[in-house]
Structure 1
């Protein structure tokens, strides 16, 4: 029974690690798998109408002949580039923005289409959508975009950045603990199971805290922007949860599920000394050399 519980706990832990790997690689580059995994996505396809409406309402403002003027002219998958830290090319907005834990990418197509650019992977990850949009839009439309974006959670870059950075670090710490759990648990000793259980608890706490922060942040930003209007016109930005966020939650549940069987294994399993003594008790007796007495002469 202890062996079965240990195996079950390790299976759950290993499955959590596999899911965490997929969650960590989301949006780090333009490869097939990373670009189909995301924590949060933003569709700006309707933003041009709102900016054009704001331009018409502004006295002496810039008139936009075509709502597509604020978007980059590249097609899907054309002119892919890596955007370095602090770079602000102002080449125009992109239709889709997709954030992972450590980076974000853009596309002129639908979710998962070929990338237009990806942000340089960073050890300081943040989710700051308003800042990203203002960096991309042409400078002549920047003020109009600021007027359109609602002055609330969506534009609170410091708030969003600090909380999502902390959440990503918590998920990273939880991922490392989950990986160590899967490694340590293979040493079939009571002490190893105790350490694996403690590491697994730490993994669950880190993953749960990080996932709940990301979920709350995305929920608040989503409610702030999806129904927002400017001058009576819908802002035209749609923010949605990504599949990588649900992958993180699945890994969190698996991490919690592995705690009980690992704890049972460490409480009922035998230590290394007890196992050795048990083996000795059932070992066959050593051979006894019998010397026949000399025959009487």
Structure 2
């Protein structure tokens, strides 16, 4: 029974690690399956109408006043992939879809899951700051107009969103590392103290993953309610923010870490309860397993 529980805990831990690795490569890999996963996505395809309306009100001239099409980048889908790096000149135009992962954000001029136009790597400074990204991408002549269109609330609170999502990403990363350590220790564990260590690591992994996933869920929910129904001068802002399926991958890994708590704890208790038999106990056990030899010895003593 202890071996079964240890194996069950190891299975849950290993499955959580696989999900977490898979979820964290979503924004750094252009393969078909990874690019369909994201923590949060923003569709700006309706933003041109709101900007055009605000531009007319502000007296801005240009194509944007007519149809709003020239606020978007002209880069074709799949071209210049991964070319936008830190320090590159911004204001090249908006993209229609933005997708945030744990470590970077990507864009495309098509639908979710299409080949991405570029990805911006955030390295060790992860944060979700959608308003800042839109304002640095939009053409310079429409930047001020876009500021008037975006609602002055949670969606544009870049410091608030950035700091909390940065903390959430670090928590998820810490939980991922602890999950990996749990799987490694569980694989080699044979005694109660080793299972105790695995249980503590697994508990830490669950706390990290749960806290990080919860923060992301709350932040995305608040930003979503702030922007999805927002209007500017009676015109829909035209931005749709949605949860990404990558967030549910993190929640699934969190659930697997929770499932591993009970079997690892049981294996710890059962492993710790094992006692090393004394020499007298080992002799008694041997005699009980060899009755024929005992009889022979007894007969010799009688003679």
On the 8 A contact 1:8/1:261 being kept in 2, the answer is yes
1:191–1:271 CA contact under 8 A, matched in 2: no
Aligned to 1:223: 225
Alignment of 1:76-225 (within 5 A): 76-186=77-187, 187-225=189-227
Secondary structure of the 1:274 match is coil
Alpha-carbon distance in 1 for matches of 2:81, 2:194? 48
Who is 1:259 aligned against?
261
Cα contact 1:189–1:271 (8 A) shared by 2: no
**1:150-195 alpha-carbon deviations (Å, 9 max, x no partner):** 0000000000000000000000001111100000012222111000
Distance 1:276 1:117 in 2: 68
Which structure's residues are more often helix, by fraction? 2
Gap regions ≥5 residues in structure 1: 286-297
Residues 120-150 of structure 1, C-alpha deviations (whole Å, 9 max, x = no match): 2411101000000111111011011111000
Once residues 98 and 179 of structure 1 are traced to their aligned partners in structure 2, the CA distance between those partners, rounded to angstroms, is: 27
Q: SS of the counterpart of 1:262? A: helix
Tell me if structure 2 keeps the 8 A contact 1:30–1:118.
no
Structure 2 CA distance for aligned equivalents of residues 179 and 276 of structure 1: 38
Structural mapping, 1:20-35, within 5 Å: 20-35=20-35
Partner of 1:51: 51
CA contact (8 A) 1:41 1:98 kept: yes
Change (3 A) 1:46 1:225: same
The count of aligned residue pairs is 285
Q: Quick one: structure 1 residues 101 and 171, their matched pair in 2 at CA, closer, same or farther if it must change by over 3 Å? A: same
Point out the more displaced range, 132-141 or 82-91: 82-91
1:243 equivalent to 2:242? Answer no
